[in-house]
Amino acid sequence: MTTSSSPVWQYRTRKQTLLRWLGWFWLVALTVFCWQLMNENTIWAFVSDAPAQAADIGSRMFPPAWSYVGELWQPLWDTINIATLGTLLGIMIAVPVAFLAASNTTPSVRFVRPLALLIIVASRSINALIWALLLVAIIGPGLLAGIIAIGLRSIGFVAKLLYEAIEEIDVTQVEAVRATGASGAQVIDYAIVPQILPAFWGISVFRWDINIRESTILGLVGAGGLGIQLNASLATLAWNQVATIFLLILGTVVVSEWVSARVRQAVL
Amino acid sequence: MLKLENVSKTYKTGDKALQGIRFEVPAGQVVGLIGPSGAGKSSLIRCINRLVEPTAGSILLGDTDLTRLNGRSLRQARRRIGMIFQEYALVERLTVMENVLSGRLGYVPAWRSFLRRYSPEDIGQAFALLEKVGLADHYNKRADALSGGQRQRVGIARALEQNPELLLVDEPTASLDPKTSRQIMRLIRGACQERSLPAIINIHDVMLAQQFSDRIIGLRNGEVVFDGAPDELTNEVLTRIYGDEDWTQLRGQESSEESTDGSSDAPSVDLAEGV
């Protein structure tokens, strides 16, 4: 038995190994560089008393101002409305965009699809808070600005996940419905919609769940909801009120998460 | 009657799937289309209802040249052609009834099919067909709750709901056990006889093809290399279609299978008789 004659198998070629080492080296170098940069821009005097500061704010937060809850129900209701109506608005626009963006349903891969993808990217690239900032400037402060901000931000999210679902459908079912002489609208109705419906409900409820969280802070820029109270409490250093708001947001998010989990379970 | 003249299909990749196919299928004739994988059987069937575009030639169904149609007229021609698929191709999340009624889509305006408001005649026919394929009690079940054999029965009912003039059948038994396969073939054959429907059945199982067709067409590399009666399928012909293989031994095994299967046929006859 000579070892030289037995066939050699290597997981990676020499070149691949070298490239991987280079990649890791680059990552470590970047980390060291960033660490240095961070150290230069930090005022260590502030960091050193951080535990004391945290303890101080923590003690001011406790006990939460329970009586303040009475003033929060209306803003909470506004927040839920912003999230729900905004999600509906987003879905209404996202569904047609998704069909235009999916490569198997788009009327034109060259012209319409890039446009639909652009809408999706534009909507996704801007945070709801920034949308709200713009909209408050354009249509004034209030619920409407919040609803539209949430709606605009939701388009991209819902449309992207939905068009991916459309692209993954089983084409033989589509072929079978087409073979009966069905029109384009009927093919969508009978072959595509039934296949993407579970994904549609899952995505919509998930987005609604996210929107509840996002709409709690929109008030910071004047777009209605709990954020207005949060802003006011922060400005007056009323930390025990801030704590109450935090707890209320936490409760709301837990409930919305529970609802969304139940809905997703029901449609699968 | 179906008439194919010089039908050819060349895919964009340059693969010549079909070359100068010509044959006629008279009313009521069941044609078994056999050939090795990749011989063009699926392409041929799909060229007829234009799920695949033929590159050349003409396909006449009655007086209509199917290759010249577009848009609405193509859809109107498609509704005259029923198709049964490999792996059933039912819409899994719709009910059995919706799947059968989808056979009427070509006849019904979109708003009616959207609201699932089909005419009483359409619904009556759907119930009658489900009765015939032995699924009368399952009409409200979702298609994905059925077994393979049951799903293919729904597939047959969907195709017949179209009241077709031609039946295209693509590997109907590919994922079914031998007994269910025979029941399904018997059902298809019965329907063709009752309605004097011509049918083209793609099939891998040569014994099944011989047993249930009036005529066999053998395809190899996109060309017809055999066209004749089922009992003319000699070892020499099989070699011409598929290439060298010990056909005698294969036949020996299958014919003994046949004889044992014959006795177990009795309980399933009720299903075949109805259609």
Check which CATH number belongs to the domain holding A101 and give it: 1.10.3720.10
User: Does residue A65 form part of some domain?
Assistant: no
CA distances from B112 to A91, A166, B92, B115, B160 (A): 25, 24, 21, 5, 20
pLDDT score of A61 more than 70: yes
**pLDDT value, residue B253:** 56
The total of structural domains in chain A comes to 1
pLDDT score of B268 more than 80: no
Under a CB-based contact definition with an 8 Å cutoff, are residues A249 and A226 in contact? yes
Higher pLDDT, A151 or B71: A151
Cβ of B92 within 8 Å of Cβ of A195? The answer is: yes
Q: What is the dihedral of CA A29, A31, A33, A38, to 10 degrees?
A: 180
Sort residue B189 into left (φ over 0), alpha (ψ -120 to 50) or beta: alpha
pLDDT score of B258 more than 80: no
Nearest Cβ partner for A181 among B79, B89, B158: B79
Residues in chain B closer than 8 A to A189 (CB atoms): 110, 113-114
Going by pLDDT thresholds of 50, 70 and 90, the confidence category of residue A266 is confident
Q: Which two tokens stand for residue B195?
A: 């309605």
**pLDDT value, residue A4:** 61
Find the farthest-apart pair of alpha carbons in chain B and give their distance in angstroms, rounded.
58
Q: Is B42 on the interface with A (CB under 8 A)?
A: no
B63-78: average pLDDT: 88
Question: Domain range spanning residue A106?
Answer: 70-267
Q: Is A168 on the interface with B (CB under 8 A)?
A: no
pLDDT score of B267 more than 80: no
**pLDDT value, residue A50:** 87
**pLDDT value, residue A142:** 84
Q: What is the dihedral of CA A96, A97, A98, A101, to 10 degrees?
A: 130
* Minimal C-alpha gap between B99 and chain A (Å): 9
pLDDT score of A87 more than 70: yes
User: Does residue A32 form part of some domain?
Assistant: no
Q: Is B110 on the interface with A (CB under 8 A)?
A: yes
pLDDT score of B193 more than 60: yes
pLDDT score of B269 more than 50: no
User: Does residue A20 form part of some domain?
Assistant: no
Chosen from B46, B53, B91 to mutate, greatest number of chain A CBs within 10 A = B91
Going by pLDDT thresholds of 50, 70 and 90, the confidence category of residue A64 is confident
A71-82: average pLDDT: 89
Write out pLDDT tens, residues A142-168: 889 889 999 999 999 999 999 999 999
pLDDT score of B271 more than 50: no
pLDDT score of B264 more than 80: no
* Minimal C-alpha gap between A176 and chain B (Å): 6
Which residue on chain A is closest to B89 by alpha carbon? A173
3-class SS shares of chain B: helix, strand, coil, % to 5: 50, 20, 30
Cβ of B93 within 8 Å of Cβ of A197? The answer is: yes
B62-75: average pLDDT: 87
**pLDDT value, residue B270:** 42
User: Does residue A56 form part of some domain?
Assistant: no
Tell me the whole-structure pTM to 2 decimals: 0.80
Q: Which two tokens stand for residue B57?
A: 């030639």
User: Does residue A226 form part of some domain?
Assistant: yes
Write out pLDDT tens, residues B114-133: 999 999 999 999 999 999 89
Nearest Cβ partner for B110 among A186, A191, A195: A186
B46-51: average pLDDT: 91
Under a CB-based contact definition with an 8 Å cutoff, are residues B51 and A175 in contact? yes
Q: How large is the ipTM?
A: 0.84
**pLDDT value, residue A234:** 87
pLDDT score of B45 more than 70: yes
**pLDDT value, residue A3:** 55
**pLDDT value, residue B248:** 78
User: Does residue A43 form part of some domain?
Assistant: no
Write out pLDDT tens, residues A100-147: 999 988 988 899 999 999 999 999 888 888 888 888 889 888 889 889
What does the alpha-carbon distance between residue B90 and residue B155 come to, in Å, rounded to a whole number?
A: 7
User: Does residue A59 form part of some domain?
Assistant: no
Over chain B, what is the mean pLDDT?
85
* Minimal C-alpha gap between B146 and chain A (Å): 16
pLDDT score of B260 more than 80: no
Going by pLDDT thresholds of 50, 70 and 90, the confidence category of residue B273 is very low
How many CB contacts within 8 angstroms connect chain A with chain B? 80
